[in-house]
Amino acid sequence: MQKMLVISVLMMLSLSFFSFDFRDDEHVIFYNAYGYSEGDEWVIPMRIYVYEYRPGTLNTTTRIVSRMRDLTDEQAQLFHERARDFIVDSESRETVLFSFDDDPEEEIFGIPDDDGNYMRSSLNGIIEGDFRISKERIEQIAAQQKSDDGWLTIRTVSDGHSGIGKIKLLAEEGLSVISDVDDTIKITEIPAGAQIVVRNTFFKEFTPATEIAELYETYGGAFFHYVSGSPWQLYRPLAEFAFSEEAGFPKGTFHMKSVTKNFLSLSTWRDLRELALNEDYTYDQKIEQISEIFEHFPKRRFILSGDSGERDPEVFNRIRELYPEQVEKIYIRDVVNDRELRPERLEGMTVIPAPTVEYGVSQFEW
């Protein structure tokens, strides 16, 4: 996935960096978060993004890409929506304060740093850290929110910020599903090559893998973590797609690839280099993110679900080696016919047959 999106990402980053817009209010994305139990507290690893829209740059980018690729109005609108978070302006040095809806004490919270001060956003607009809250306080808040699905709602209270987020607190024991996204729950056709992947990512409606949605329906009570090699800038369109009534995938948390976009930050150039050149980048990212989830829930059982188009079988084999007592089952949606060509790659895994994706060939009309 990383090589196939790099040209599009670089183009959008370049237009964003050298364009100017009228500024509006600062917005905050609270990415869906889970909480785990530690003593008398809940620990909630959080990722927050602070940004401003750049409508002029986004409109200009859309017009340029539309002319370059001769897009229909519908395709141009899809690109406009999918490219939005690549082109927003990241806001640094921002402190984001939030509260829980219906909290009887109306307490204000932030993400603390090692010194106990509230963290400020990085040059790339990101705040990442653990938020801790007592179980007693959560019981008060949950009783007031009366959430139908167990997700608690938070929202910003800091000046000049707007944003709403969701948090799910997970029991120490139970069933969790680690799911890939591209060619697992969404048909992206990664083995078909860069041109088709970019088209399916930015210019057409996402298509669900219905057999996987049906499979996930059988896991009543399980919690889902979607671990993807796609960049965080695609979080919103992917989450909107996955949790829609049409696609029907269970609500959960996303764990994605960091591709920073502030050209004054060394991490931006590192991320772009890795995105373009390092074939192990997604493998390492997934091992790290999945391992962290396992470490937070040593008593939970896990099902791993991915596809054969990239390195999910190798990732899942490594996770099974690291946590043999916790991995209950591995499912692989086979999109490159490894069940016949390389059966040893899928050994010990349950294979879900899928149409074989060939390089340069798409099942979708253009």
Predicted confidence at residue 194, as pLDDT, reads 87
> Is the distance from CB of 162 to CB of 25 less than 8 angstroms?
yes
Burial of 341 (0-12, 13-18, 19+ CB in 10 A): exposed
**Hey, what CATH class is 14-55+89-169 in?**
mainly beta
pLDDT at 20 over 60: no
Predicted confidence at residue 366, as pLDDT, reads 78
End-to-end CA distance of the chain: 20
**Contacts of 265 by beta carbon, 8 Å cutoff, 6+ apart:** 122, 123, 124
pLDDT average, residue stretch 128-156: 95
Would 14-55+89-169 and 175-353 be classified into the same CATH topology? no
Taking only the tens place, the pLDDT of each residue in 170-212 is 999 999 999 999 999 999 999 999 899 999 999 999 999 999 9
For residues 207 and 148, which has the higher predicted lDDT (pLDDT)? 207
Q: What dotted CATH number matches 175-353?
A: 3.40.50.1000
> Is the distance from CB of 235 to CB of 85 less than 8 angstroms?
yes
pLDDT at 278 over 60: no
Q: Can you give the pTM of this predicted structure?
A: 0.90
Taking only the tens place, the pLDDT of each residue in 87-128 is 899 999 999 999 999 999 999 999 999 999 999 999 999 999
Predicted confidence at residue 6, as pLDDT, reads 47
pLDDT at 60 over 50: yes
Instruction: Pull the structure tokens for residue 92.
Output: 């640094």
Predicted confidence at residue 17, as pLDDT, reads 46
The pLDDT > 70 percentage for the chain reads 88
For the chain, domain boundaries: 14-55+89-169, 175-353
**Contacts of 23 by beta carbon, 8 Å cutoff, 6+ apart:** 52, 89
Predicted confidence at residue 279, as pLDDT, reads 57
- Least confident range from 92-101, 225-234, 269-278: namely 269-278
